[in-house]
Structure formats: C-alpha cells, structure tokens
Structure 1
Amino acid sequence: MDANEELGLEEEVGLGLGLVVEVRRKERLFRDRCNPFDCPEDTFRQLYRLPKLSVLDICHEIGPFLRRQTKRSQAVQVPLQICITLNFFASGTFQYVLGQSFGLSQPTVSQVIKHVTRSIIRSMNRHITFPMDRESQILIQQQFFRKFQFPRIIGAIDGTHVAIKAPSVDEHVYVNRKSYHSINVQAICDSNLKFLDVVAKYPGSCHDSFILSNSTIGQRFQDGLIPNGLLIGDSGYPLREWLMVPINNPTTEDERNYNDMHASARNVIKHCFGVMKSRFRCIHRSGGNLQYSPKRCCEIIMAVAILHNMTIHIPLLPEEEIEIDLVEDDARQPQHVAGANAARQELIRQLAQ
C-alpha cells in the first residue's frame, strides 16, 4: 500500500461496466476560524461596541449555555459566537455579510445569533429586576431626588418603537402611529439609566397605556404591592396615585414648576433608550428594520436591553451619537382614577415648599 492509498487520496472504483476509474479524493481542508480578539482594542470596540474585557465577561457568564455537544469536526467556539452576535447587534448587518466576514455560512450565522440571543435572555433575572425590597426602593428614590429634587420616584416609564419588517400574519396590527411596522417596547429605568423592567412583546399599534395596564409591573402597582414609590411617565399614560404624568394645561406657577421638574426627571428613560439604540444599532432606524419574525425581534430586543444593563458603565464611542426623541406621546389617555388628582396636587404642594 503506497502513501496515497494509506491517506485515502486515491482509489480505484469499478463502475460495473468493465472499467476501472481512478478517483482522486479532495483532501479535507479546515479553515481556521478568525480570532476576533486578534485586533487592536480600538478596532475591536468599533466592531463590537464593547472592550475586550467586557466581552470576555459576557463569554464567562453565558458560555455554559452555548457549549453544545456536536458531531461536527469544528464547532463554532463560544467567543466567536458571542462576537458574531455582538457585531450584528452593533450594526444590524445582514447575516450573509456577517458570514463572509467570519468565514461561516449564512445558516450557521443565523443559528449562532439565535442561540446567543436566547442564552443572554436566560440571564435576564440577574440583570433586569424591579426592586421589591424597601431598601433598594429607597436607594433609587434618593438617587432620583439628588439629581432632580423630585421625591418618591422609583422609576421613569416610557415606550419606544423598534422597526421590524412587515410580518406575514396580522401585518396591520404592527403598524404604529408613524405608519411603519414596529414592536412597542415598554421600559422602566432608574436615574442611572439602568433598566428595571422591560416588556417587549406588543405590536406597534398598541398604546403605551394598554401595555402598562396589561403588564406584570402595572398590575403590581395597581394591586398596591409597591405602595411607597411613584412612576413618572408622559402624557400618553393615565394619572394614577402611583403614576405621575404632566398637567396638560398648567394655570399656576406651581403647576408649571411641577411640569418642568417632572420633564427633567422623566427624560432619563428617553436618554436610556437613546444610549441603548446608539450602542446597538440593530434596533435603531439607521440600522434598518429587523428582518425577522415578531417573536425573534422581541427576543433580540430583550437581549439588547440585558446587554445595555451589563455594559451601562462603559462610555459610548465618540461616533456613537445619542439621539433622544423628546416628542411627547399624544395626550389622549384613559380616564384618571378617583383620588389620583388629589395625590398629584399634594405632590405639587410639596414641590412648592
């Protein structure tokens, strides 16, 4: 047996016609996966929006969820899976283009993004949790008061729209008031731009007040399970004893002062959305529409919100300009509940002292 036969590079194959044909097998070549960490730190930041050490921390946290048993000769390593997904989150690039960059097929890139996204969501309770203990609530209230002199605030609430492609089922319900298809995402944040609660499952036609009334956190406030704190929201929400909204037509100096202080404190949630969308362009209109089913889009939005909380301490790059939408929601809102206006008037009186 010669060397070629031993390596299996050549063999004689009978075709059943009295002929013997020599077939040369192609030697199997394994492409070396590119090492995403083998580049300068500034280039790495531009590609993935995060420094290398932060990405390694993410690898350490969700890596156990990504190490799957496989019969393939070369599985995609965990750091590469995470970098592929971060690059997609950072840019919204098409999967085919990502595959070309990393030497992988489009179907492989699709599976990688799906598995990493869902693995990040599995860590949600460690990173997005509304504080139910009194000590944590007092700390958030103190931080809001130090920054905005507005008492008892436990969170700022608002909605933001993430553009998606027109779905094949119930397409019309995803069209929002600005006439494009979207997911309406409700979120509550603290004064440090950290998300405390995120709801990403409703189509763009759903009003902010509807999402709040049907959310777990809205029900907790309504049931009196969070009795010592206030949410602040824009005029798209109804006035509640636990939810302070602006006065639509202020007539006194105290009411105008209340509106000014309310707007200053409330804008932290808009700033929070701006930071998240600036870092992760896949959910920004400049990155185009998310080209997935609504369910997959909601998963991507949740994963990005979790990553926002994990990386909020990292400054944005100079080119990551923050765009903040300060346009108020429409003033059409459900009827205020009895007693809510009295609660707001008492708060106005406190602010005037």
Structure 2
Amino acid sequence: MAAIQRVLVLNQRRRRPRSRLVHVNIFILQNLSPFDILPDMAILQKCRLPRQLIMELLDLLRPALARLTRRNFALSPEVQLLAALRFFATGSFIEVVGEGYGLSKTSVWRCVHTVTNALLRHAGDYIRLPATRQEVQEVHQGCHAIAGIPRVLGLVDGTLIPIADPSVIDQAYISRKGYAAINVQVIVDHRGVISDLVARWPGSTHDSFVWANSAVGEQAEREGFGQSLFLGDSGYPLRTYLFTPLTNPQTRAERAYNVAHVHTRSVVECRGIPGSSTRHNMSCEHITDNLII
C-alpha cells in the first residue's frame, strides 16, 4: 500500500506544471544575453571586470561551463560566469544575486561552484611570480618608475577576508578587527596583477608568520630571487630581501625613502575600480588595509 501511495505522489509531482515566472525567466536567459542588454559601465560596476576581459575569460572557461545535457533550460556559460562574477564582486547573498538573473538560489550556488573549480584549474597559469629574465626586468622597471626604488619584484600585503561565523568557531579565526576571517597574503607587481596568493591561515595569524611560512618567503630566505627584493609594511620583518618603512625617520633621505616606499606599495593597498562610482574610485592618498580580489 505504501508503495502505491509513493507512486501516486511521484506521478502528481511529474504533472505539476512549471510556474509562469519560470517560463519567462528561461525565455529571457535563452534569447537575451546579458552582454547585449548591459552597457559597459554597468558590467564593470556589477562584475568588477570590463567587458573585454570577461569575454576572454568566457572563451577560456567555456569548455568547462558547457552543460553536457539534453534537459531543457540548461544555463549557458555566459549566465553561469556572470552570476559567479557578480557573487565574487559583491559577496552578497546568493538569493540576491539570483534575483538579478532570474535564477534560483540552487542555480546560483551551482554557478559559483562550477566557475570556481574552472578558475582554479587555470590559476597556476596566471598567478605566478616572474620567472624569465625579461619578466623580472619588466617588473623591476615598472616598480622603479613609480617612486625610484630599484630591483623590486613584488609588493606584499595581508588582507582579512571575512568568513561566515559557524555555530562553533575556533578563536584563532577571530581577527584583530573582531570578526571571523582568513588572513590572505597577496603579492602584486607594478600593475596590480597578483603574482602570489596564500589563503590558508586564520584571521588572528600575524602577517610576518604568514610570510615566513609561505613558499615565497622560504625561497627568499634561501636567496632564491637573487638581487630582487619585496616591499612590505611595518607588519613584516626587515630583511635584505624585504624592505619595510622606517619607524622613526630622522634625515631627509630617510623621509624620502618612506615616501617612495608608501607610493610604491600603494599599488597593493589602494582599492577602487577605474571608471566606477566615487565611493569606490578612491585615490592612492586614501589607503586602506583591505584589497579587493
């Protein structure tokens, strides 16, 4: 008897028609590309990337995002990528992101999961320190052009990435700002391009500890970067390969060094997007200790 009731319930579920809203959303997603609807400025503000870069990223990830299914209403790679980029850019609730594209919470979660895994498979091809002599020389010249400090290979900074508080959390994740986070170490070049990323330490971990236990820090300690050096703030230890600002400059030369150090490191500390709203388009004089990635 129970089996018969189960069959009847399943048949009722099969007969249940889709809501009109679902059909409208699917028609929009299948016939209107968000790239055709949104202007360049709207795409930049919503996804934090210009249209051209998103198209290049789409070409790279399309094979991994294509749904190999004959079922109706499969999401296109374009919609999956834009939904994930919107979530990455805002950090908003998945439901809020889904409302902008007519997607359910489950669909947005799948988009974020799929796009994230696809990006990770290509991360090593793009997130890397300069390796060839030409690449090293290009970064040296680019950093030197900012404020005159020679032989700089990377600009180091730590940023706190908030995480959702679970019901029981290790106090090690509570950062100095009072919320649960991961302390992420970022190294960028003169263009702001990330060349190294360490994202495995709790929020209470000191920046100097993260550096000492990173692959780049260990390689630098073994003089693996030759005459190249890195620039870090006062939270990092002073080394022959890691320059930090002077805590109490006395001479004119020491003050000039600090000014040059601040201007060069502003690349990693400044936040904002060219062409975005005034709230986000902050100049390098308004330096924060957060980095949008």
Query: Which range, TM-score by smaller chain?
Result: 0.7 to 0.9
Is residue 146–residue 263 contact of structure 2 (8 Å, CA) maintained in 1?
A: no
Instruction: From the superposition, tell whether residues 46 and 149 of structure 1 become closer, same or farther in structure 2 (CA, over 3 Å).
Output: closer
Correspondent of 1:321 among 274, 281, 290: 281
Task: Name the structure 1 match of 2:211.
Answer: 212
Instruction: From the superposition, tell whether residues 47 and 188 of structure 1 become closer, same or farther in structure 2 (CA, over 3 Å).
Output: closer
Task: Name the structure 2 match of 1:98.
Answer: 97
Deviation at 1:33, TM superposition (A): 4.5
Deviation at 1:105, TM superposition (A): 2.0
Task: Name the structure 1 match of 2:73.
Answer: 74
Deviation at 1:205, TM superposition (A): 0.4
Deviation at 1:146, TM superposition (A): 2.0
Q: How does 1:341-352 map to 2 (within 5 A)?
A: none
What SS does the aligned partner of 1:197 have?
Answer: strand
Task: Name the structure 1 match of 2:171.
Answer: 172
Instruction: From the superposition, tell whether residues 149 and 95 of structure 1 become closer, same or farther in structure 2 (CA, over 3 Å).
Output: same
Is residue 269–residue 288 contact of structure 2 (8 Å, CA) maintained in 1?
A: no
- 1:197 equivalenced with 2:196 (yes/no): yes
Task: Name the structure 1 match of 2:259.
Answer: 260
Instruction: From the superposition, tell whether residues 26 and 317 of structure 1 become closer, same or farther in structure 2 (CA, over 3 Å).
Output: same
Q: Which moved more, 1:145-154 or 1:206-215?
A: 145-154
Task: Name the structure 1 match of 2:10.
Answer: none
> 1:37 corresponds to which letter in structure 2?
F
Q: Which moved more, 1:156-165 or 1:66-75?
A: 66-75
Is residue 246–residue 258 contact of structure 2 (8 Å, CA) maintained in 1?
A: yes
Could you tell me how far apart the structure 2 residues matched to 1:184 and 1:316 are?
Answer: 29
Q: How does 1:287-306 map to 2 (within 5 A)?
A: none
Deviation at 1:171, TM superposition (A): 3.1
1:199-236 deviations in whole A, cap 9, x for unaligned? Answer: 12211101000101111111111111111201111111
Could you tell me how far apart the structure 1 residues matched to 2:98 and 2:238 are?
Answer: 49
> 1:96 corresponds to which letter in structure 2?
E
Give structure 2 stretches of 5+ with no counterpart. Answer: 6-13
Deviation at 1:26, TM superposition (A): 5.7
Is residue 67–residue 76 contact of structure 2 (8 Å, CA) maintained in 1?
A: no
Instruction: From the superposition, tell whether residues 235 and 105 of structure 1 become closer, same or farther in structure 2 (CA, over 3 Å).
Output: same
Instruction: From the superposition, tell whether residues 118 and 146 of structure 1 become closer, same or farther in structure 2 (CA, over 3 Å).
Output: same
Could you tell me how far apart the structure 1 residues matched to 2:15 and 2:127 are?
Answer: 54
Instruction: From the superposition, tell whether residues 33 and 173 of structure 1 become closer, same or farther in structure 2 (CA, over 3 Å).
Output: farther
Could you tell me how far apart the structure 1 residues matched to 2:54 and 2:260 are?
Answer: 38
Task: Name the structure 1 match of 2:118.
Answer: 119
Deviation at 1:327, TM superposition (A): 6.3
Give structure 1 stretches of 5+ with no counterpart. Answer: 1-14, 16-23, 280-314, 329-353
RCO higher in structure (CA 8 A, sep ≥6):
1
Relative to the length of structure 2, the TM-score reads: 0.81
Instruction: From the superposition, tell whether residues 245 and 52 of structure 1 become closer, same or farther in structure 2 (CA, over 3 Å).
Output: closer
What SS does the aligned partner of 1:117 have?
Answer: helix
Is residue 82–residue 116 contact of structure 1 (8 Å, CA) maintained in 2?
A: yes
Could you tell me how far apart the structure 1 residues matched to 2:100 and 2:153 are?
Answer: 44
Task: Name the structure 2 match of 1:53.
Answer: 52
Task: Name the structure 1 match of 2:37.
Answer: 39
Task: Name the structure 2 match of 1:136.
Answer: 135
Task: Name the structure 2 match of 1:86.
Answer: 85
Relative to the length of structure 1, the TM-score reads: 0.68
> 1:32 corresponds to which letter in structure 2?
F
Could you tell me how far apart the structure 2 residues matched to 1:101 and 1:242 are?
Answer: 47
Is residue 189–residue 197 contact of structure 1 (8 Å, CA) maintained in 2?
A: yes
What SS does the aligned partner of 2:158 have?
Answer: strand
Instruction: From the superposition, tell whether residues 316 and 126 of structure 1 become closer, same or farther in structure 2 (CA, over 3 Å).
Output: farther
Instruction: From the superposition, tell whether residues 170 and 25 of structure 1 become closer, same or farther in structure 2 (CA, over 3 Å).
Output: closer
1:239-269 deviations in whole A, cap 9, x for unaligned? Answer: 1111111222223333222222222222221
